[in-house]
Structure 1
Amino acid sequence: MGLDVVMGAVGTAVSSPWFYLVLFAVAALDGFFPVVPSESLLITAGVYAASGRPELVWVVVAAALGAFAGDHVSFVLGRGSGGRLVRGLRAGTRRHAVFGWARRTMDERGGLILVVARYVPGGRTAVTLTMGAVGYRARSFALFAAVAAVSWGLYGAVLGYAGGVAFEDEPLKGVAVGLGLALSVTAVAEAVRFARRRRSRDRLRSRDGRVVSGV
């Protein structure tokens, strides 16, 4: 009975027009305060959207706008700290070289990194802060932040919606299915990232070994 009361309260909360504002605020906070569970809230909203309240389109819009705003807050924070960092760097030092490398990397592949980092645990805030710190172009950042935010909003809401459709009369199971799907996608992405990183290390070791043997 206690669980029924809790789920009833959740259902009432997500059906309120104010819920969209809450979802926006949580998604925004998650951009620079990553302990806020924005993805869980988005998936839960998607589950209940399967029954018509809240509306799926507005769930995606609120989540995407919040994520977009949060990314920009993180970007501005990074830009502010980046200015102090640059002034403190000395030419010829390792930190100066690393900062230069980061700037070049963001110029070349920054947009792709931003979109992909949206689905990497802890990656979103790290990348947006770094892009601000290295002086990445604000207009380009806004473009790729919009792509990342909209894709994330659709991704989380649709996962939740799928769980809601599968368990229309049991929203708790729907939430569990949505979260399980999200965790599975994250696990696969992390496994691929780990495999690529390991292959890169193996290639470097192999190349270094050939150089040493040739010497």
Structure 2
Amino acid sequence: MSDLLGQLAQLDRLAEPLRDLLHSPWLWLVVLLVSGLDALLPFMPSETTVVLVAVLIGPHPPLLALLAAVAAAGALAGDCLGYCVGRYAGPRATARLLRGERGRARHARARTTVERHAATLVIAGRFLPGGRVVAALSTGSVRFPLRRFVLLDAVGAALWALFSTALGGLGGAALTDSPVTALLIASGTGLVVAAGVASCRRRGPWRVVREGVRDGA
């Protein structure tokens, strides 16, 4: 136990210099880019990045508000890019999908599901691993109205950014002397929430849409 505490203390000392970056415009650019690129590159650590920066900020509401705004803006921009990819690259994938009767049936079901459950797919997709990729590409590929997509995604991006910022901010405020411990606790909480929501991927609209996207790939 003492060895673990010692290792955490060493990591905390290594994390301290990162606080100096909070006033650098480059840090905010990184947050913006990572939050956006996660829409097409699911391995990008967008939530971890936001939580980490929030932990380092700690009990400073103005900086936390700035972080949430930057993260939400990046997420919205990235999702709109994913929507455009689905909209303009989708026809070729759809053409392959429509060659078979089974594929045509799945595509029709996916289109109907997107139209009926767009709010669930777009907003809840923010909290599912890879969910935002499926939501953006599927809505774009079935030519879901762009204006409505942007409105729904703005809500989802804002909720995601506020949630991630709040997790890190609360952890950083409670454990100001141990940012690594705060990060671990906040990240663990986020994983629990994601695991609870992830069951939606196995049923309902998510299952139908994922089948359509997978078969069209």
Q: Distance in 1 between matches of 2:203 and 2:94?
A: 29
Deviation at residue 124 of structure 1 after TM alignment:
1.3
Segment of structure 1 superposing worse, 150-159 or 10-19: 10-19
CA-to-aligned-CA distance 1:108-136 (integer Å, 9 cap, x gap): 11122111111111111112111111111
Q: Distance in 2 between matches of 1:180 and 1:85?
A: 37
Q: Distance in 1 between matches of 2:191 and 2:17?
A: 25
2:82 aligned residue (74, 81, 86): 74
2:52 aligned residue (44, 47, 67): 44
Aligned to 2:209: none
Q: Distance in 1 between matches of 2:114 and 2:89?
A: 17
Do the aligned residues in 2 keep the contact of 1:47 with 1:160 (CA within 8 Å)? yes
> Does 1:94 find its partner at 2:94?
no
Match of 2:70, as an amino acid?
A
Q: Distance in 2 between matches of 1:3 and 1:92?
A: 55
Aligned to 2:163: 155
Unpaired runs of at least 5, structure 1: 199-215
Do the aligned residues in 1 keep the contact of 2:98 with 2:107 (CA within 8 Å)? no
SS in 1 for 2:117: helix
Match of 1:8, as an amino acid?
E
Do the aligned residues in 1 keep the contact of 2:125 with 2:135 (CA within 8 Å)? yes
Deviation at residue 188 of structure 1 after TM alignment:
2.3
Q: Distance in 1 between matches of 2:55 and 2:196?
A: 23
Unpaired runs of at least 5, structure 2: 1-8, 205-217
Do the aligned residues in 1 keep the contact of 2:59 with 2:169 (CA within 8 Å)? no
Bigger radius of gyration among the two: 1
Aligned to 2:187: 179
Q: Percent identity?
A: 33
SS in 2 for 1:34: coil
Q: Distance in 2 between matches of 1:86 and 1:154?
A: 36
- Size of the aligned set, in residue pairs, is 196
Aligned to 1:20: 28
Do the aligned residues in 2 keep the contact of 1:27 with 1:38 (CA within 8 Å)? yes
TM-score under structure 1 normalisation?
0.82
Deviation at residue 93 of structure 1 after TM alignment:
1.6
Deviation at residue 144 of structure 1 after TM alignment:
0.6
Query: RMSD over aligned Cα, in angstroms?
Result: 2.3
2:114 aligned residue (106, 111, 125): 106
CA-to-aligned-CA distance 1:155-177 (integer Å, 9 cap, x gap): 00000011011101221111112
> Does 1:85 find its partner at 2:96?
no
Aligned to 1:193: 200
**Closer, same or farther: CA 88–14 of 1 in aligned 2, 3 Å:** same
SS in 1 for 2:129: coil
Q: Distance in 1 between matches of 2:169 and 2:97?
A: 49
Match of 1:79, as an amino acid?
R
Q: Distance in 2 between matches of 1:30 and 1:111?
A: 20
What pairs with 1:102-141 in structure 2 (closer than 5 Å)?
102-141=110-149
Deviation at residue 49 of structure 1 after TM alignment:
2.1
Deviation at residue 187 of structure 1 after TM alignment:
2.1
Do the aligned residues in 2 keep the contact of 1:48 with 1:54 (CA within 8 Å)? no
Aligned to 1:164: 172
Segment of structure 1 superposing worse, 172-181 or 66-75: 172-181
Select the structure with the greater relative contact order (CA < 8 A; seq sep ≥ 6).
Answer: 2
